[in-house]
Amino acid sequence: MVAQKMYELGTKRSGIREIFEFAMKRSAEVGPENVYDFSLGNPNVPSPEYIKEAIIDLITNMPATAVHSYTVAPGAMEVRETLARSINERFGMNITGNNLFMTSGAAAAITITFKALTEEDDEIIAFAPYFPEYKVFVENVGSKLVVVPAKVDDFQIDFEAFRAVINPHTKAVIVNSPNNPSGVIYSEETIKELAAILTEKSKEYGHPIFIIADEPYREIAYDGLEVPYIPKFYSNTIVCYSYSKSFSLPGERIGYIVVPNEVEDFGAVYGAVAGAARVLTHVNASSLFQLVVARCAGKPSDISQYEKNGKLLYDGLTAAGIKCLKPQGAFYLFPQALEEDDVAFCEKAKKYDLLFVPGSGFGCPGFVRLAYCVSEETIRRSLPVLKKFAKEEYGIEC
């Protein structure tokens, strides 16, 4: 009677949802201050004051029809021109509004790009650990997601494993840096090597293999670390950007796709992006928030609380004997579980009201994700509990 696949997607309880419900239940039982919920990637830093000021100014001083009307499908041209100038200034690009397509966040940008690029039998490669929704997005457009196993010593890319899976059906690779869930930034060296292999293989197979750069965490990078702007290293790159994290606007659904002129057959790719958006029922991205982000283009994001939280939690995990890479960006840590079975590890942690997400869902068993976009107080209170958990469950004395 209904599409079975859609029914399954709509009713299968996600692991993160289950953890969320458990957190609600435990908060009612023991008080929210005693539940250490590291499961959700929902920014806890409020959106900056300049966003609020822009919204108030726009809705007060612009005619309502100008603020709330439909825009052309790619987004208002003045908005795209403003964002293009900001991108050019920041990354030394040379794009115009004609290279931008405004979307309802990164999820829409990625799905539209997958749909625009792939046909039946095409494959998209992701590098573990990877954002689990990629699988849903890829399958939705009728293609196949191929996963390269993680390089767990540094969470850069395992190029040998990559070479083993790339094949003539590969249409694109999706790269997410700063990464959810590992918190790692792909180095310039990694991006250069990826670009070299893709150039070689595109030539060998006689068609371009695109990089899709999924960049919602671009601005959340610590210790002055640079996040390489991938179109500068590989011309067949399409960027999917979102303001969900940088401006803490996840509920407003605003982002964009960049298709630079250097992309092979630019006109066909941009046209296919517009067509894919159309069949996916995109009419236009929020007209108010197009104007808001154009007003605030290039303004700094305050990442100081995330940086502080990341360091605090990293020190706490390490002190409890749980191994972890130092936070580089985004707001996640991805430590190694204290046993092989990451799901069992998370279940044991739950007994201490420590809520983590198993790495298996990110294609990386044996690890767990902790989102530290929570209050600093939650992290501070969790530190002795982490130690108690490691000691009582795994006999680790620190």
Ligand X SMILES: Cc1ncc(COP(=O)(O)O)c(C=O)c1O
Q: Which positions touch ligand X (CB under 6 A)?
A: 41, 105-107, 131, 176, 180, 214, 216, 242, 244, 250, 255
Reported as half-sphere exposure (CB side, CA atoms, 13 A), residue 240 has a value of 25
Give least dist CB 129 to ligand X, A: 10
Give least dist CB 307 to ligand X, A: 18
The residue among 97 and 216 lying less far from ligand X, judged by its C-beta, is 216
Q: Which residue is it, tokens 């539209």? A: 112
DSSP string, 66-94: HHHS---TT--HHHHHHHHHHHHHHH---
The residue among 41 and 365 lying less far from ligand X, judged by its C-beta, is 41
Take residue 56 and report the two structure tokens written for it.
């108030």
The residue among 244 and 378 lying less far from ligand X, judged by its C-beta, is 244
Give least dist CB 146 to ligand X, A: 18
Give least dist CB 74 to ligand X, A: 18
Give least dist CB 130 to ligand X, A: 8
Q: Do you know the residue count of the chain?
A: 398
**Counting Cβ atoms within 10 Å, is residue 348 exposed (0-12), middle (13-18) or buried (19+)?**
middle
The residue among 105 and 316 lying less far from ligand X, judged by its C-beta, is 105
Q: What letter represents residue 200's amino acid?
A: E
Give least dist CB 379 to ligand X, A: 20
Give least dist CB 21 to ligand X, A: 19
Distances (CA, A) of 178 to 138, 172, 182, 197: 21, 19, 8, 21
The residue among 150 and 320 lying less far from ligand X, judged by its C-beta, is 150
Helices (H), the chain: 4-11, 15-30, 49-61, 64-68, 77-91, 105-117, 133-140, 159-165, 188-205, 266-279, 287-295, 304-319, 342-350, 376-394
Nearest Cα residue to 186 out of 197, 198, 174: 174
Give least dist CB 391 to ligand X, A: 33
* Contact present, 80 and 97 (Cβ < 8 Å): yes
Give least dist CB 28 to ligand X, A: 27
Sheet harboring 123-127: ordered strands across?
100-103, 255-258, 237-242, 210-214, 170-176, 123-127, 144-148
- How many Å apart are CA 33 and CA 382, to the nearest integer? 10
The residue among 36 and 131 lying less far from ligand X, judged by its C-beta, is 131
Take residue 36 and report the two structure tokens written for it.
């250490």
Give least dist CB 112 to ligand X, A: 12
Give the pairing type, strands 255-258 and 210-214: unpaired
**Counting Cβ atoms within 10 Å, is residue 152 exposed (0-12), middle (13-18) or buried (19+)?**
middle
Q: Which residue is it, tokens 């430590």? A: 335
End-to-end Cα, the chain, rounded Å: 58
